[in-house]
A and B are shown apart, each in its own frame.
Chain A
Amino acid sequence: MKGYISLLRLRFMLLLQYRIAAFAGVCTQLLFGFVRVMVFIAFYQSTSKVQPISYEGTITYIWLSQALLGLLPWNGDSELQTMIRTGNVAYELCRPVDIYNLWFSRAVAQRTAPTLLRAIPIFIVALLLLPGKYAMGYPHSCTSFLAWIISMFGALLLSCAITNIFNIVTLWTVAGDGITRLLPAVIILFSGMIVPLPLFPQWMQGILKYLPFSGIVDIPARFYSGHIQPSQIVSLFFIQIIWTILLILMGKWLLSRKMKLIVVQGG
Protein backbone atom coordinates (compact mmCIF):
# COMPACT_ATOMS: atom_id res chain seq x y z
CA MET A 1 0.00 0.00 0.00
CA LYS A 2 2.82 2.39 0.92
CA GLY A 3 4.41 1.86 -2.46
CA TYR A 4 1.23 2.78 -4.31
CA ILE A 5 0.77 5.90 -2.23
CA SER A 6 4.29 7.13 -2.87
CA LEU A 7 3.83 6.46 -6.59
CA LEU A 8 0.60 8.40 -6.47
CA ARG A 9 2.39 11.28 -4.77
CA LEU A 10 5.18 11.30 -7.36
CA ARG A 11 2.77 11.31 -10.31
CA PHE A 12 0.74 14.02 -8.60
CA MET A 13 3.78 16.29 -8.21
CA LEU A 14 4.81 15.61 -11.80
CA LEU A 15 1.39 16.44 -13.24
CA LEU A 16 1.25 19.68 -11.27
CA GLN A 17 4.12 20.92 -13.44
CA TYR A 18 1.96 21.29 -16.55
CA ARG A 19 0.91 24.85 -15.81
CA ILE A 20 0.71 26.26 -19.33
CA ALA A 21 -1.54 23.42 -20.42
CA ALA A 22 -3.64 24.12 -17.34
CA PHE A 23 -3.90 27.79 -18.27
CA ALA A 24 -5.15 26.90 -21.76
CA GLY A 25 -7.57 24.44 -20.18
CA VAL A 26 -8.93 27.04 -17.80
CA CYS A 27 -9.58 29.52 -20.62
CA THR A 28 -11.25 26.92 -22.83
CA GLN A 29 -13.44 25.59 -20.04
CA LEU A 30 -14.46 29.09 -19.00
CA LEU A 31 -15.51 29.81 -22.57
CA PHE A 32 -17.46 26.56 -22.88
CA GLY A 33 -19.07 27.17 -19.52
CA PHE A 34 -20.04 30.65 -20.58
CA VAL A 35 -21.56 29.54 -23.89
CA ARG A 36 -23.53 26.80 -22.10
CA VAL A 37 -24.76 29.24 -19.45
CA MET A 38 -26.00 31.67 -22.10
CA VAL A 39 -27.74 28.87 -24.01
CA PHE A 40 -29.50 27.73 -20.82
CA ILE A 41 -30.51 31.29 -19.93
CA ALA A 42 -32.18 31.50 -23.33
CA PHE A 43 -33.91 28.15 -22.88
CA TYR A 44 -35.18 29.04 -19.41
CA GLN A 45 -36.49 32.36 -20.73
CA SER A 46 -38.45 30.50 -23.43
CA THR A 47 -40.91 28.80 -21.11
CA SER A 48 -42.88 29.59 -17.99
CA LYS A 49 -43.38 25.93 -17.10
CA VAL A 50 -41.75 24.79 -13.86
CA GLN A 51 -38.72 22.64 -14.68
CA PRO A 52 -37.44 19.64 -12.71
CA ILE A 53 -34.36 21.65 -11.78
CA SER A 54 -34.30 25.39 -11.09
CA TYR A 55 -32.45 27.92 -13.23
CA GLU A 56 -29.91 28.63 -10.47
CA GLY A 57 -29.45 24.91 -9.91
CA THR A 58 -28.70 24.41 -13.60
CA ILE A 59 -26.16 27.25 -13.81
CA THR A 60 -24.31 25.93 -10.74
CA TYR A 61 -24.45 22.42 -12.24
CA ILE A 62 -22.84 23.68 -15.47
CA TRP A 63 -20.01 25.49 -13.70
CA LEU A 64 -19.31 22.50 -11.47
CA SER A 65 -19.16 20.20 -14.49
CA GLN A 66 -16.83 22.57 -16.37
CA ALA A 67 -14.54 23.19 -13.41
CA LEU A 68 -14.25 19.47 -12.65
CA LEU A 69 -14.01 18.37 -16.28
CA GLY A 70 -10.65 16.74 -15.55
CA LEU A 71 -12.43 14.23 -13.35
CA LEU A 72 -14.52 12.95 -16.25
CA PRO A 73 -13.10 9.59 -17.40
CA TRP A 74 -13.23 10.12 -21.15
CA ASN A 75 -9.77 8.75 -21.91
CA GLY A 76 -7.02 6.54 -20.55
CA ASP A 77 -3.49 7.35 -19.46
CA SER A 78 -1.81 8.35 -22.72
CA GLU A 79 1.66 7.46 -21.40
CA LEU A 80 0.53 3.96 -20.48
CA GLN A 81 -1.28 3.53 -23.78
CA THR A 82 1.86 4.47 -25.70
CA MET A 83 3.80 1.97 -23.59
CA ILE A 84 1.31 -0.72 -24.54
CA ARG A 85 1.50 0.14 -28.25
CA THR A 86 5.29 0.24 -28.33
CA GLY A 87 5.77 -2.84 -26.18
CA ASN A 88 7.52 -0.97 -23.38
CA VAL A 89 4.73 -2.22 -21.15
CA ALA A 90 7.04 -5.19 -20.58
CA TYR A 91 8.93 -3.05 -18.05
CA GLU A 92 5.72 -2.50 -16.15
CA LEU A 93 5.27 -6.26 -15.90
CA CYS A 94 8.70 -6.65 -14.34
CA ARG A 95 7.85 -4.50 -11.35
CA PRO A 96 7.19 -6.42 -8.12
CA VAL A 97 3.73 -4.89 -7.69
CA ASP A 98 0.21 -5.68 -8.75
CA ILE A 99 -0.22 -4.10 -12.15
CA TYR A 100 -3.90 -3.23 -11.74
CA ASN A 101 -3.23 -1.35 -8.50
CA LEU A 102 -0.21 0.34 -10.01
CA TRP A 103 -2.27 1.66 -12.90
CA PHE A 104 -5.10 2.59 -10.56
CA SER A 105 -2.79 4.82 -8.50
CA ARG A 106 -1.60 6.46 -11.72
CA ALA A 107 -5.25 7.06 -12.60
CA VAL A 108 -5.90 8.69 -9.21
CA ALA A 109 -3.03 11.12 -9.86
CA GLN A 110 -4.23 11.73 -13.41
CA ARG A 111 -7.75 12.58 -12.25
CA THR A 112 -6.77 14.78 -9.30
CA ALA A 113 -3.66 16.91 -10.03
CA PRO A 114 -4.70 18.52 -13.34
CA THR A 115 -8.28 18.87 -12.10
CA LEU A 116 -7.17 20.81 -9.03
CA LEU A 117 -4.99 23.12 -11.12
CA ARG A 118 -7.94 23.98 -13.34
CA ALA A 119 -10.81 23.86 -10.88
CA ILE A 120 -9.53 26.49 -8.47
CA PRO A 121 -9.26 29.39 -10.97
CA ILE A 122 -12.58 28.43 -12.57
CA PHE A 123 -14.30 28.36 -9.17
CA ILE A 124 -12.86 31.79 -8.36
CA VAL A 125 -14.13 33.28 -11.61
CA ALA A 126 -17.52 31.56 -11.58
CA LEU A 127 -18.27 32.12 -7.90
CA LEU A 128 -16.83 35.57 -7.29
CA LEU A 129 -16.16 37.49 -10.48
CA LEU A 130 -19.12 36.85 -12.74
CA PRO A 131 -22.23 39.04 -12.60
CA GLY A 132 -25.24 37.53 -10.81
CA LYS A 133 -27.09 36.11 -13.81
CA TYR A 134 -24.10 34.04 -14.94
CA ALA A 135 -22.59 33.22 -11.57
CA MET A 136 -22.32 29.88 -9.85
CA GLY A 137 -24.12 29.60 -6.51
CA TYR A 138 -22.75 28.69 -3.10
CA PRO A 139 -23.51 25.28 -1.55
CA HIS A 140 -27.12 25.03 -0.43
CA SER A 141 -26.15 24.40 3.21
CA CYS A 142 -23.30 23.09 5.33
CA THR A 143 -24.64 19.55 5.21
CA SER A 144 -25.12 19.84 1.44
CA PHE A 145 -21.48 20.85 1.17
CA LEU A 146 -20.43 17.88 3.27
CA ALA A 147 -22.54 15.53 1.15
CA TRP A 148 -20.94 17.03 -1.97
CA ILE A 149 -17.43 16.33 -0.63
CA ILE A 150 -18.33 12.71 0.14
CA SER A 151 -19.94 12.12 -3.23
CA MET A 152 -16.96 13.76 -4.95
CA PHE A 153 -14.81 11.12 -3.31
CA GLY A 154 -17.14 8.45 -4.70
CA ALA A 155 -17.00 10.13 -8.11
CA LEU A 156 -13.20 10.06 -8.06
CA LEU A 157 -13.06 6.32 -7.33
CA LEU A 158 -15.66 5.62 -10.00
CA SER A 159 -13.78 7.75 -12.49
CA CYS A 160 -10.48 5.99 -11.80
CA ALA A 161 -12.09 2.56 -12.21
CA ILE A 162 -13.38 3.63 -15.65
CA THR A 163 -10.04 5.25 -16.57
CA ASN A 164 -8.34 1.96 -15.82
CA ILE A 165 -10.74 0.15 -18.15
CA PHE A 166 -9.66 2.54 -20.91
CA ASN A 167 -6.05 1.61 -20.13
CA ILE A 168 -6.72 -2.12 -20.11
CA VAL A 169 -8.76 -2.29 -23.32
CA THR A 170 -5.77 -0.78 -25.14
CA LEU A 171 -4.27 -4.27 -24.85
CA TRP A 172 -6.79 -5.30 -27.49
CA THR A 173 -5.41 -3.23 -30.36
CA VAL A 174 -8.38 -3.09 -32.72
CA ALA A 175 -11.41 -3.67 -30.52
CA GLY A 176 -9.84 -1.53 -27.80
CA ASP A 177 -9.48 1.35 -30.21
CA GLY A 178 -13.19 1.18 -30.97
CA ILE A 179 -14.10 1.20 -27.28
CA THR A 180 -11.80 4.10 -26.44
CA ARG A 181 -13.50 6.10 -29.17
CA LEU A 182 -17.13 5.17 -28.58
CA LEU A 183 -17.34 4.98 -24.80
CA PRO A 184 -16.55 8.70 -24.28
CA ALA A 185 -19.72 9.71 -26.17
CA VAL A 186 -21.80 7.55 -23.82
CA ILE A 187 -20.01 8.83 -20.73
CA ILE A 188 -20.22 12.51 -21.71
CA LEU A 189 -23.93 12.30 -22.47
CA PHE A 190 -25.09 10.12 -19.57
CA SER A 191 -22.94 11.70 -16.88
CA GLY A 192 -24.72 15.03 -17.34
CA MET A 193 -21.87 16.92 -19.01
CA ILE A 194 -23.94 18.03 -22.02
CA VAL A 195 -27.37 18.42 -20.43
CA PRO A 196 -28.08 18.09 -16.67
CA LEU A 197 -29.70 14.69 -16.14
CA PRO A 198 -32.89 16.01 -14.46
CA LEU A 199 -33.75 17.71 -17.78
CA PHE A 200 -33.73 14.41 -19.70
CA PRO A 201 -37.18 13.08 -20.68
CA GLN A 202 -39.16 11.48 -17.88
CA TRP A 203 -39.06 7.98 -19.39
CA MET A 204 -35.25 8.01 -19.38
CA GLN A 205 -34.90 8.95 -15.71
CA GLY A 206 -35.34 5.35 -14.53
CA ILE A 207 -32.55 4.13 -16.81
CA LEU A 208 -30.19 6.99 -15.96
CA LYS A 209 -30.46 6.24 -12.26
CA TYR A 210 -29.09 2.73 -12.71
CA LEU A 211 -26.18 3.64 -14.98
CA PRO A 212 -22.83 4.25 -13.29
CA PHE A 213 -22.20 7.52 -15.14
CA SER A 214 -24.58 9.70 -13.11
CA GLY A 215 -22.26 9.17 -10.14
CA ILE A 216 -19.47 11.15 -11.82
CA VAL A 217 -21.04 14.54 -12.54
CA ASP A 218 -24.76 14.55 -11.83
CA ILE A 219 -25.08 13.26 -8.26
CA PRO A 220 -22.30 15.41 -6.74
CA ALA A 221 -23.55 18.54 -8.54
CA ARG A 222 -27.08 18.02 -7.26
CA PHE A 223 -25.87 17.47 -3.68
CA TYR A 224 -24.02 20.77 -3.93
CA SER A 225 -27.04 22.78 -5.05
CA GLY A 226 -29.40 21.03 -2.64
CA HIS A 227 -31.42 19.41 -5.44
CA ILE A 228 -30.84 16.13 -3.61
CA GLN A 229 -31.37 16.11 0.16
CA PRO A 230 -28.10 15.56 2.09
CA SER A 231 -29.78 12.70 3.94
CA GLN A 232 -29.67 10.64 0.75
CA ILE A 233 -25.88 10.60 0.77
CA VAL A 234 -25.72 7.14 2.38
CA SER A 235 -27.71 5.35 -0.30
CA LEU A 236 -26.23 7.25 -3.24
CA PHE A 237 -22.66 6.89 -2.00
CA PHE A 238 -23.37 3.19 -1.62
CA ILE A 239 -24.40 3.01 -5.29
CA GLN A 240 -21.22 4.82 -6.35
CA ILE A 241 -19.10 2.35 -4.37
CA ILE A 242 -20.96 -0.69 -5.68
CA TRP A 243 -20.35 0.47 -9.25
CA THR A 244 -16.71 1.17 -8.46
CA ILE A 245 -16.22 -2.34 -7.10
CA LEU A 246 -17.96 -3.91 -10.09
CA LEU A 247 -15.86 -1.91 -12.55
CA ILE A 248 -12.66 -2.73 -10.66
CA LEU A 249 -13.52 -6.44 -10.75
CA MET A 250 -14.26 -6.19 -14.45
CA GLY A 251 -10.95 -4.40 -15.06
CA LYS A 252 -9.03 -7.02 -13.11
CA TRP A 253 -10.72 -9.82 -14.98
CA LEU A 254 -9.97 -8.27 -18.38
CA LEU A 255 -6.39 -7.64 -17.37
CA SER A 256 -5.75 -11.15 -16.09
CA ARG A 257 -7.26 -12.62 -19.25
CA LYS A 258 -4.90 -10.63 -21.44
CA MET A 259 -1.85 -11.09 -19.21
CA LYS A 260 -1.96 -14.85 -19.71
CA LEU A 261 -1.65 -14.37 -23.48
CA ILE A 262 1.02 -11.73 -23.53
CA VAL A 263 4.24 -12.57 -25.34
CA VAL A 264 7.07 -10.06 -25.18
CA GLN A 265 9.57 -10.13 -27.99
CA GLY A 266 13.13 -10.06 -26.77
CA GLY A 267 15.87 -7.98 -28.31
Chain B
Amino acid sequence: MMNGIKLYFKYVSVSIQSQMQYRASFIMLTLSQFIVTFADFLGIWILFDRFGTLKQWSMAEVALFYGIVHIAFAISEGFARGFDTFSKQVKTGDFDRILLRPRSTVLQVLGLEFQLMRLGRLTQGLVVLLWAVNNLAIHWTMVKLTLILAAILGGACLFSGIFVLQATLCFWSVESLELVNMVTYGGVETAQYPLSIYSSWFRKFFIFVIPLACINYFPAMGILEKTDPLNSPIWIHYGSPLAGLIFLLLSLQVWKFGVTHYRSTGS
Protein backbone atom coordinates (compact mmCIF):
# COMPACT_ATOMS: atom_id res chain seq x y z
CA MET B 1 0.00 0.00 0.00
CA MET B 2 2.68 2.51 1.08
CA ASN B 3 4.70 1.41 -1.88
CA GLY B 4 1.70 2.12 -4.11
CA ILE B 5 1.30 5.65 -2.77
CA LYS B 6 5.00 6.31 -3.27
CA LEU B 7 4.73 5.07 -6.82
CA TYR B 8 1.71 7.27 -7.45
CA PHE B 9 3.56 10.37 -6.33
CA LYS B 10 6.38 9.38 -8.61
CA TYR B 11 3.86 9.29 -11.47
CA VAL B 12 2.54 12.71 -10.47
CA SER B 13 5.97 14.27 -10.29
CA VAL B 14 6.89 12.92 -13.73
CA SER B 15 3.62 14.26 -15.12
CA ILE B 16 4.21 17.70 -13.60
CA GLN B 17 7.77 17.79 -14.89
CA SER B 18 6.59 17.00 -18.39
CA GLN B 19 3.95 19.75 -18.28
CA MET B 20 6.55 22.19 -16.98
CA GLN B 21 8.67 21.62 -20.07
CA TYR B 22 6.37 24.02 -21.87
CA ARG B 23 6.16 26.64 -19.16
CA ALA B 24 4.71 29.50 -21.22
CA SER B 25 2.05 27.24 -22.63
CA PHE B 26 1.22 25.92 -19.14
CA ILE B 27 0.82 29.40 -17.67
CA MET B 28 -1.41 30.46 -20.55
CA LEU B 29 -3.59 27.36 -20.28
CA THR B 30 -4.08 27.84 -16.57
CA LEU B 31 -4.76 31.54 -16.91
CA SER B 32 -7.23 31.01 -19.74
CA GLN B 33 -9.09 28.38 -17.72
CA PHE B 34 -9.30 30.84 -14.85
CA ILE B 35 -10.81 33.49 -17.12
CA VAL B 36 -13.20 31.11 -18.91
CA THR B 37 -14.71 29.82 -15.68
CA PHE B 38 -14.85 33.39 -14.45
CA ALA B 39 -17.20 34.31 -17.31
CA ASP B 40 -19.59 31.80 -15.79
CA PHE B 41 -19.55 33.55 -12.44
CA LEU B 42 -19.97 36.90 -14.14
CA GLY B 43 -23.29 35.56 -15.43
CA ILE B 44 -24.42 34.90 -11.85
CA TRP B 45 -23.36 38.40 -10.82
CA ILE B 46 -25.39 39.90 -13.68
CA LEU B 47 -28.48 37.96 -12.60
CA PHE B 48 -28.18 39.08 -8.97
CA ASP B 49 -27.55 42.65 -10.10
CA ARG B 50 -30.82 42.44 -12.00
CA PHE B 51 -33.05 40.40 -9.66
CA GLY B 52 -31.60 41.13 -6.21
CA THR B 53 -32.17 37.70 -4.68
CA LEU B 54 -32.78 34.12 -5.77
CA LYS B 55 -35.80 33.18 -3.65
CA GLN B 56 -34.44 33.25 -0.08
CA TRP B 57 -30.81 33.07 -1.19
CA SER B 58 -28.34 35.93 -1.41
CA MET B 59 -25.48 36.16 -3.88
CA ALA B 60 -22.89 35.39 -1.17
CA GLU B 61 -24.76 32.22 -0.28
CA VAL B 62 -24.92 31.11 -3.91
CA ALA B 63 -21.18 31.87 -4.15
CA LEU B 64 -20.61 29.37 -1.33
CA PHE B 65 -22.40 26.62 -3.29
CA TYR B 66 -20.55 27.65 -6.43
CA GLY B 67 -17.13 27.66 -4.79
CA ILE B 68 -17.52 24.25 -3.16
CA VAL B 69 -18.67 22.46 -6.30
CA HIS B 70 -16.11 24.06 -8.62
CA ILE B 71 -13.17 23.33 -6.31
CA ALA B 72 -14.32 19.73 -5.93
CA PHE B 73 -14.71 19.31 -9.68
CA ALA B 74 -11.31 20.88 -10.40
CA ILE B 75 -9.58 18.50 -7.97
CA SER B 76 -11.20 15.43 -9.51
CA GLU B 77 -10.44 16.66 -13.04
CA GLY B 78 -6.80 17.07 -12.05
CA PHE B 79 -6.42 13.67 -10.39
CA ALA B 80 -8.82 11.44 -12.31
CA ARG B 81 -8.00 12.75 -15.77
CA GLY B 82 -6.68 9.30 -16.73
CA PHE B 83 -10.17 7.87 -16.27
CA ASP B 84 -11.76 10.76 -18.14
CA THR B 85 -9.71 10.07 -21.28
CA PHE B 86 -9.71 6.31 -20.80
CA SER B 87 -11.56 5.53 -24.06
CA LYS B 88 -8.30 6.39 -25.87
CA GLN B 89 -6.51 3.62 -23.95
CA VAL B 90 -9.12 1.09 -25.00
CA LYS B 91 -9.22 2.18 -28.62
CA THR B 92 -5.46 2.07 -29.08
CA GLY B 93 -5.05 -1.10 -27.04
CA ASP B 94 -2.68 0.62 -24.58
CA PHE B 95 -4.71 -0.79 -21.72
CA ASP B 96 -3.17 -4.21 -22.45
CA ARG B 97 0.19 -2.86 -21.35
CA ILE B 98 -1.30 -1.68 -18.08
CA LEU B 99 -2.77 -5.12 -17.45
CA LEU B 100 0.63 -6.74 -17.90
CA ARG B 101 2.30 -4.73 -15.15
CA PRO B 102 2.35 -6.05 -11.58
CA ARG B 103 0.49 -3.06 -10.10
CA SER B 104 -3.20 -2.29 -9.67
CA THR B 105 -5.01 -0.94 -12.72
CA VAL B 106 -6.55 1.91 -10.72
CA LEU B 107 -3.16 3.20 -9.65
CA GLN B 108 -1.79 3.09 -13.17
CA VAL B 109 -4.76 4.73 -14.84
CA LEU B 110 -4.73 7.46 -12.19
CA GLY B 111 -1.06 7.96 -12.87
CA LEU B 112 -1.54 8.35 -16.63
CA GLU B 113 -1.96 12.07 -16.34
CA PHE B 114 -2.11 14.63 -13.58
CA GLN B 115 -3.54 17.76 -15.10
CA LEU B 116 -1.91 20.74 -13.52
CA MET B 117 -3.79 23.27 -15.67
CA ARG B 118 -6.92 22.50 -13.60
CA LEU B 119 -5.35 24.92 -11.15
CA GLY B 120 -7.18 27.56 -13.20
CA ARG B 121 -10.64 26.34 -12.22
CA LEU B 122 -9.43 25.55 -8.72
CA THR B 123 -8.14 29.08 -8.15
CA GLN B 124 -11.32 30.58 -9.53
CA GLY B 125 -13.44 28.40 -7.23
CA LEU B 126 -11.23 29.34 -4.32
CA VAL B 127 -11.52 33.06 -5.07
CA VAL B 128 -15.32 32.80 -5.21
CA LEU B 129 -15.41 30.74 -2.00
CA LEU B 130 -13.21 33.21 -0.13
CA TRP B 131 -15.36 36.07 -1.37
CA ALA B 132 -18.45 34.22 -0.11
CA VAL B 133 -16.92 33.51 3.30
CA ASN B 134 -15.87 37.13 3.59
CA ASN B 135 -19.39 38.37 2.84
CA LEU B 136 -21.30 35.91 5.00
CA ALA B 137 -21.58 36.32 8.74
CA ILE B 138 -20.60 32.78 9.61
CA HIS B 139 -19.48 31.92 13.09
CA TRP B 140 -16.51 29.69 12.25
CA THR B 141 -15.72 26.70 14.45
CA MET B 142 -13.37 23.76 13.98
CA VAL B 143 -16.40 21.60 13.18
CA LYS B 144 -17.55 23.88 10.37
CA LEU B 145 -14.06 24.11 8.94
CA THR B 146 -13.88 20.32 8.88
CA LEU B 147 -17.32 20.21 7.30
CA ILE B 148 -16.37 22.46 4.40
CA LEU B 149 -13.18 20.47 3.78
CA ALA B 150 -15.17 17.23 3.96
CA ALA B 151 -17.70 18.61 1.48
CA ILE B 152 -14.95 19.51 -0.99
CA LEU B 153 -13.15 16.18 -0.59
CA GLY B 154 -16.44 14.29 -0.76
CA GLY B 155 -17.23 16.18 -3.96
CA ALA B 156 -13.85 15.34 -5.45
CA CYS B 157 -14.51 11.67 -4.63
CA LEU B 158 -17.98 11.80 -6.16
CA PHE B 159 -16.82 13.34 -9.45
CA SER B 160 -13.87 10.92 -9.58
CA GLY B 161 -16.37 8.11 -9.07
CA ILE B 162 -18.34 9.34 -12.08
CA PHE B 163 -15.15 9.43 -14.16
CA VAL B 164 -14.39 5.86 -13.07
CA LEU B 165 -17.88 4.73 -14.11
CA GLN B 166 -17.47 6.52 -17.44
CA ALA B 167 -14.17 4.67 -17.98
CA THR B 168 -15.79 1.38 -17.02
CA LEU B 169 -18.40 1.89 -19.74
CA CYS B 170 -15.52 1.80 -22.25
CA PHE B 171 -15.10 -1.93 -21.64
CA TRP B 172 -18.43 -2.44 -23.37
CA SER B 173 -18.76 0.52 -25.70
CA VAL B 174 -16.82 3.65 -26.57
CA GLU B 175 -19.86 5.27 -28.21
CA SER B 176 -22.05 7.97 -26.68
CA LEU B 177 -19.71 8.50 -23.73
CA GLU B 178 -20.60 12.16 -24.01
CA LEU B 179 -23.82 11.31 -22.21
CA VAL B 180 -21.77 11.13 -19.03
CA ASN B 181 -21.11 14.85 -19.47
CA MET B 182 -24.71 15.33 -18.44
CA VAL B 183 -23.89 14.34 -14.88
CA THR B 184 -20.41 15.89 -14.70
CA TYR B 185 -20.73 19.26 -16.43
CA GLY B 186 -24.51 19.21 -16.01
CA GLY B 187 -24.04 18.40 -12.34
CA VAL B 188 -21.62 21.28 -11.81
CA GLU B 189 -24.03 23.61 -13.59
CA THR B 190 -26.88 22.40 -11.38
CA ALA B 191 -25.05 22.42 -8.08
CA GLN B 192 -23.73 25.95 -8.42
CA TYR B 193 -27.20 27.06 -7.36
CA PRO B 194 -28.96 25.86 -4.19
CA LEU B 195 -30.83 22.66 -4.91
CA SER B 196 -34.04 23.90 -3.31
CA ILE B 197 -34.85 26.08 -6.33
CA TYR B 198 -35.33 23.10 -8.67
CA SER B 199 -38.38 20.93 -9.30
CA SER B 200 -38.70 18.06 -6.86
CA TRP B 201 -38.18 15.13 -9.31
CA PHE B 202 -35.04 16.81 -10.57
CA ARG B 203 -33.82 17.38 -7.03
CA LYS B 204 -34.39 13.73 -6.15
CA PHE B 205 -32.09 12.66 -8.99
CA PHE B 206 -29.21 14.69 -7.55
CA ILE B 207 -29.91 13.51 -4.01
CA PHE B 208 -30.47 9.79 -4.49
CA VAL B 209 -28.99 8.74 -7.84
CA ILE B 210 -25.95 10.98 -8.17
CA PRO B 211 -25.65 12.29 -4.60
CA LEU B 212 -24.40 15.76 -5.53
CA ALA B 213 -26.59 17.38 -2.89
CA CYS B 214 -24.70 15.48 -0.22
CA ILE B 215 -21.41 17.14 -0.99
CA ASN B 216 -22.76 20.59 -1.67
CA TYR B 217 -26.26 21.55 -0.60
CA PHE B 218 -26.56 19.69 2.72
CA PRO B 219 -23.12 20.54 4.13
CA ALA B 220 -23.65 24.16 3.08
CA MET B 221 -26.85 24.11 5.13
CA GLY B 222 -24.79 23.07 8.13
CA ILE B 223 -22.30 25.87 7.51
CA LEU B 224 -24.93 28.56 6.94
CA GLU B 225 -27.18 27.37 9.80
CA LYS B 226 -30.17 28.42 7.74
CA THR B 227 -33.58 26.82 7.97
CA ASP B 228 -33.53 24.46 5.05
CA PRO B 229 -36.55 24.89 2.77
CA LEU B 230 -36.29 21.14 2.15
CA ASN B 231 -36.49 20.38 5.90
CA SER B 232 -33.46 18.11 6.03
CA PRO B 233 -32.45 16.99 9.53
CA ILE B 234 -29.21 18.28 10.99
CA TRP B 235 -27.38 14.92 11.04
CA ILE B 236 -27.64 14.87 7.26
CA HIS B 237 -25.82 18.21 7.05
CA TYR B 238 -22.83 16.76 8.86
CA GLY B 239 -22.90 13.16 7.68
CA SER B 240 -23.69 13.60 4.00
CA PRO B 241 -20.15 14.24 2.62
CA LEU B 242 -19.48 10.56 3.32
CA ALA B 243 -21.82 9.76 0.44
CA GLY B 244 -19.12 10.98 -1.98
CA LEU B 245 -16.59 8.53 -0.57
CA ILE B 246 -19.10 5.67 -0.65
CA PHE B 247 -19.95 6.52 -4.26
CA LEU B 248 -16.26 6.34 -5.22
CA LEU B 249 -15.74 3.01 -3.44
CA LEU B 250 -18.77 1.52 -5.18
CA SER B 251 -17.56 2.84 -8.54
CA LEU B 252 -14.20 1.17 -7.98
CA GLN B 253 -15.97 -2.14 -7.37
CA VAL B 254 -17.82 -1.70 -10.67
CA TRP B 255 -14.48 -0.93 -12.30
CA LYS B 256 -12.96 -4.17 -10.98
CA PHE B 257 -15.91 -6.05 -12.39
CA GLY B 258 -15.43 -4.26 -15.71
CA VAL B 259 -11.73 -5.11 -15.92
CA THR B 260 -12.49 -8.84 -15.73
CA HIS B 261 -14.75 -8.38 -18.75
CA TYR B 262 -12.21 -6.53 -20.83
CA ARG B 263 -11.43 -7.90 -24.26
CA SER B 264 -8.60 -6.31 -26.12
CA THR B 265 -9.14 -5.04 -29.64
CA GLY B 266 -5.95 -6.88 -30.46
CA SER B 267 -4.46 -3.99 -32.38
Q: Are A24 and B43 in contact (CB under 8 A)?
A: no
Cβ of B53 under 8 Å from chain A: yes
Residues of A in contact, count (CB < 8 Å): 35
Given contacts A38-B199, A42-B197, contact A24 B179 (CB under 8 A): yes
Stretch at the interface among B3-11, B31-39, B81-89, B218-226: B31-39
CB closest chain-A residue, reference B196:
A42
Cβ of A20 under 8 Å from chain B: yes
How many Å from the CB of B45 to the closest CB on chain A? 10
Q: Are A195 and B29 in contact (CB under 8 A)?
A: no
- Which residues of chain A are near B55, meaning CB under 8 Å? 42, 45-46
Q: Which of A34, A47, A189 contacts B42 (CB 8 A)?
A: A189
Instruction: Flag B107-142 by CB within 8 Å of A: 1 or 0 each.
Output: 000000000000000000000000000000000000
Q: Are A21 and B178 in contact (CB under 8 A)?
A: yes
How many Å from the CB of A182 to the closest CB on chain B? 5
Q: Are B202 and A38 in contact (CB under 8 A)?
A: yes
> Could you count the A-B residue pairs with CB atoms below 8 Å apart for me: how many are there?
96
How many Å from the CB of B175 to the closest CB on chain A? 5
Cβ of B14 under 8 Å from chain A: no
Cβ of A188 under 8 Å from chain B: yes
Main secondary structure of the interface of A (DSSP, over half): helix
Q: Are A27 and B179 in contact (CB under 8 A)?
A: yes
Q: With the chains together, A39 CA to B40 CA distance in Å?
A: 14
Stretch at the interface among A106-114, A173-181, A238-246, A255-263: A173-181
- Which residues of chain B are near A185, meaning CB under 8 Å? 32, 35-36, 38-39
Cβ of A86 under 8 Å from chain B: no
Given contacts A25-B178, A43-B54, A45-B55, contact A184 B186 (CB under 8 A): no
Q: Are B46 and A201 in contact (CB under 8 A)?
A: yes
Q: Which of A31, A46, A181, A189 contacts B53 (CB 8 A)?
A: A46
Instruction: Flag B178-194 by CB within 8 Å of A: 1 or 0 each.
Output: 11011001100110010
Q: Are A35 and B190 in contact (CB under 8 A)?
A: yes
Q: Are A46 and B36 in contact (CB under 8 A)?
A: no
Chain A 4-46 residues near chain B, CB threshold 8 A: 20-21, 23-25, 27-28, 31-32, 34-35, 38-39, 42-46
Given contacts A28-B179, A184-B36, A185-B35, contact A46 B54 (CB under 8 A): yes
Q: Are B197 and A38 in contact (CB under 8 A)?
A: yes
Q: Are B176 and A24 in contact (CB under 8 A)?
A: yes
- Which residues of chain A are near B202, meaning CB under 8 Å? 34, 38
- Which residues of chain A are near B101, meaning CB under 8 Å? none
- Which residues of chain B are near A46, meaning CB under 8 Å? 51-55
Main secondary structure of the interface of B (DSSP, over half): helix
Cβ of A97 under 8 Å from chain B: no
Q: Which of A194, A199, A200 contacts B39 (CB 8 A)?
A: A194
Q: Are A47 and B51 in contact (CB under 8 A)?
A: yes
How many Å from the CB of B206 to the closest CB on chain A? 10
How many Å from the CB of A203 to the closest CB on chain B? 11
- Which residues of chain A are near B176, meaning CB under 8 Å? 20-21, 23-24
Q: Which of B32, B40, B182 contacts A178 (CB 8 A)?
A: B32
Chain B 38-89 residues near chain A, CB threshold 8 A: 38-40, 42-43, 46-47, 49-55
Q: With the chains together, A182 CA to B25 CA distance in Å?
A: 13
- Which residues of chain A are near B177, meaning CB under 8 Å? 24
CB closest chain-B residue, reference A47:
B51
- Which residues of chain A are near B33, meaning CB under 8 Å? 181
- Which residues of chain B are near A35, meaning CB under 8 Å? 186, 189-190, 198
Q: Are B50 and A28 in contact (CB under 8 A)?
A: no
Cβ of B99 under 8 Å from chain A: no
How many Å from the CB of A63 to the closest CB on chain B? 16
Q: Are B25 and A177 in contact (CB under 8 A)?
A: yes
Chain A 174-230 residues near chain B, CB threshold 8 A: 174, 177-178, 181-182, 184-186, 188-189, 194-195, 199-201
Q: Which residues of B contact A (CB under 8 A)?
A: 24-25, 28-29, 32-33, 35-36, 38-40, 42-43, 46-47, 49-55, 175-179, 181-182, 185-186, 189-190, 193, 197-199, 202
A-B contact pairs, 28 of them (CB 8 A): A21-B176, A25-B178, A28-B181, A28-B182, A28-B186, A34-B202, A38-B197, A38-B202, A42-B54, A44-B51, A46-B51, A46-B53, A46-B55, A47-B51, A174-B24, A178-B32, A182-B32, A184-B36, A185-B32, A186-B39, A189-B39, A194-B40, A195-B43, A199-B50, A200-B46, A200-B50, A201-B46, A201-B49
- Nearest first, the 4 A-B pairs at minimum CB distance are A24-B178, A194-B43, A181-B32, A42-B197
Q: Which residues of A contact B (CB under 8 A)?
A: 20-21, 23-25, 27-28, 31-32, 34-35, 38-39, 42-47, 51, 174, 177-178, 181-182, 184-186, 188-189, 194-195, 199-201
